[in-house]
Structure 1
Amino acid sequence: MLPRREIFPNVIEMNFQAGHLLGCNVYLIFADNQWILIDIGYEEVVDEIIELIRQLDFPLSHCQTLVATHADVDHIQGLAKAKQTLGTTITSHPLAVEPLQQGDKLITFAEIAAQNIHLEMPPVQIEHQVNDGDVITVGTLKLEVWHTPGHTDSQLSFRMGDLLFSGDNIYRDGCVGAIDAHHGSDIPAFIKSLQRIRASDVKWLLPSHGPIFRKDDALLDKTIARLESYQHMADFGTCAVDWPLMDDWEDEIIEGKLPQ
């Protein structure tokens, strides 16, 4: 058996446990002989993750559910395989159900022809849907469900005491999850989600990519300000709410203003 490398009591992150990068962060939360996984990653790492869980002496039959933070291929491609192996259920936000059950390659980013990305996206049945304010129970532990849209419309975070499993909302370097119109991104919603995290009294953020870090209000303020500017930039296409330059250009046309 392997020693358990808990990053916090009752929390194991599978990349850290393995000692090498497997993909997105995969969190195993356990109590009273019950456990869940938050995300699973690509299909190719499922066997290694499940073997690690076996070697950590978690009964595979005691997996209560596999939770999808959102419907992105790098988080959920392996759900169908893991579900079959573990004989468990899948939990997601209602807005993730259709792309997951249909194996929608476009919404999940499995198919991006312009970048020569052509990945399989096995469809998977969703048994449980959770909304903001719901609670996922693992033994004596309770995870409060936060709906934190912006990166995608289905993005979920989960609060457990001082910890927030924060999905793709923000990373230690101040970056955020990709903003893309095909993906269901919404910049004003993203800002509200970050403001919610900023206003909370959680102490640790456990993101879906990269290192776990202490909640840093200054970092969140800087990131929020950056996203507020994104709302008015052509760089973000239809995700932007307006483009002030076009208003200026219209005024200059009406005035007959020449280049200066």
Structure 2
Amino acid sequence: MLPHKTLFPGVIELNYQAGEVLGCNVYLVHDQGEWTLIDIGYEETVDEFVELIRQLDFPLSKCKTLIATHADVDHIQGLAKAKQMLRTSVTSHPLAVEALQTGDKLTTFAEIKAQNIHLDMPPVEIEHQINDGDTIRIGNLELEVWHTPGHTDSQLSFRLGDVLFSGDNIYRDGCVGAIDAHHGSNINDFIKSLERIRDSDVVWLLPSHGPIFRKDNEMLNRTIDRLRSYLKMADFGTLANEWPLMDEWENEVADGTLPDGVGVKKG
């Protein structure tokens, strides 16, 4: 059995566990022998993630469900394959159901002709729909569901004590998930979601991309102000040529670097 690289009690991030970045962050939440995954990433990495879970000594039959934070291809392309391998269910927000069940390539960003992006998007049946205020129980742990739209209309976050699995709402460098009208983005909703995160007593943010970090209200305020400026500007849809945070994240994962105060050994 591999030793668990535990971030918080009951929480493992599979890229950090593997010591290399394989895709979006995939969080394994576990307690009392039961476990779930928040996102799964691309189809091509499913085998590697499932083998890693097996080596961590989590029985595959004890996977309660696979949770989609939202319907973007880089988060959910592997759902159909993982669901079949684990013989489990899939859980999402109601607004993500149609795109996931039909394998909608445009809504999920699997097909972006102008950038020569042409990815498969296998459809997957959604057994469970969740919305704001619902809870998901894993053993004795309870994930509180937050609906935090803005990046997409279906974006979900999940609170576990003083930790928030924050999806594509905010990253350590103050960036946010892509804003695109065809994607279901809404800047006003995005601002409200960031204000909710800022005003909460959550301590740690566990995003869907890049390193986890301590909530920084000054940084959140700067991001909120930037998004407010987008309401009167035409450049919010521009695409960056690079993202330095991802280079930092690659190095931190390889080195096993975590913020001070994080990293509880368990198992």
| TM-score, scaled relative to structure 1 | 0.91
Q: Gaps (5+ residues) in structure 2?
A: 238-267
Which amino acid is the alignment partner of residue 110 of structure 1? A
Which deviations, in whole Å up to 9, do the C-alpha atoms of 1:236-260 show, x marking residues without a partner? 47xxxxxxxxxxxxxxxxxxxxxxx
Report what 1:243 is aligned to: none
Alpha carbon RMSD of aligned pairs, Å?
0.6
Q: Work out the CA distance in 2 between the residues paired with 1:39 and 1:144.
A: 16
Q: Which runs of 4+ in 1 moved over 2 A?
A: none
Q: Per-residue displacement from partner, 1:188-215 (whole Å, max 9, x unpaired)?
A: 0000000000000000000000000000
Q: Could you tell me how far apart the structure 1 residues matched to 2:186 and 2:100 are?
A: 20
- What is the 5 A alignment of 1:185-204? 185-204=185-204
1:98 aligned partner, one-letter code: E
- Which has the bigger relative contact order, CA under 8 A and spacing at least 6? 2
Cα distance in 2 between the residues matched to 1:226 and 1:234: 13
- 2:48 equivalent in structure 1: 48
Distance 2:222 2:102 in 1: 38
**How does 1:175-194 map onto structure 2 within 5 Å?**
175-194=175-194
Work out the CA distance in 2 between the residues paired with 1:22 and 1:80: 18
Secondary structure of the corresponding residue to residue 174 of structure 2:
coil
Partner of 2:110: 110
Code of the residue aligned with 1:66 in structure 2: it is L
Q: Identity percentage over the alignment?
A: 77
Matched positions, count: 237
Please name the residue that 2:256 is paired with. none
Tell me if 1:134 matches 2:172.
no
What is the one-letter code of the residue matched to 2:222? K
Letter in 2 for 1:121: M
- Structure 1 residue ranges without an equivalent (≥5): 238-260
- Paired with 2:187 and 2:201, the residues of 1 have a C-alpha distance of 23
Find the aligned partners of 2:148 and 2:136 in 1 and give their Cα distance. Answer: 16
Deviations 1:146-169 (A, max 9, x none): 000000000000000000000000
For the residue of structure 1 that corresponds to 2:7, the secondary structure is coil
SS at match of 2:190: helix
Partners of 1:139 and 1:81 lie apart in 2 by 25
Which residue of structure 1 lines up, in the alignment, with residue 166 of structure 2?
Answer: 166
Alpha-carbon distance in structure 2 between the residues aligned to 1:236 and 1:198: 22
Matches within 5 A, 1:4-43: 4-43=4-43
User: What SS does the aligned partner of 2:53 have?
Assistant: helix
Match of 1:98 in 2: 98
**Residues in 1 aligned to 2:176 and 2:157: alpha-carbon distance in whole angstroms:** 14
Code of the aligned partner of 1:165? F
| Partner-residue secondary structure (3-state), 2:50 | helix
In 2, distance between residues paired with 1:39 and 1:201? 24
Q: Distance in 2 between matches of 1:106 and 1:174?
A: 27
Distance in 2 separating the partners of 1:236 and 1:10: 37
1:236 and 1:5 map into 2 onto residues whose CA distance is 37
TM-score (structure 2 length as normaliser): 0.88
Task: Give the 3-state SS of the residue equivalent to 1:235 in structure 2.
Answer: coil
Question: What is the alpha-carbon distance in structure 1 between the residues aligned to residue 35 and residue 175 of structure 2?
Answer: 30
Indicate the SS of the match to 2:132. Answer: coil
**Quick one: distance in 2 between partners of 1:203 and 1:236?**
29
Q: CA deviation at 1:234?
A: 1.6
Paired residue type of 2:187: I
- 1:156 matched residue in structure 2: 156
The answer to whether the aligner puts 1:219 opposite 2:249 as a matched pair is no
Distance in 2, Cα, partners of 1:106 & 1:205 = 29
**Aligned equivalents of 2:169, 2:9: Cα separation in 1:** 23
Q: How far off is 1:235 after superposition?
A: 1.8
| Residue deviations 1:165-185 (CA, integer Å, cap 9, x gap) | 000000000000000011000
Within 5 Å, which residues of 2 pair with 1:40-79?
40-79=40-79
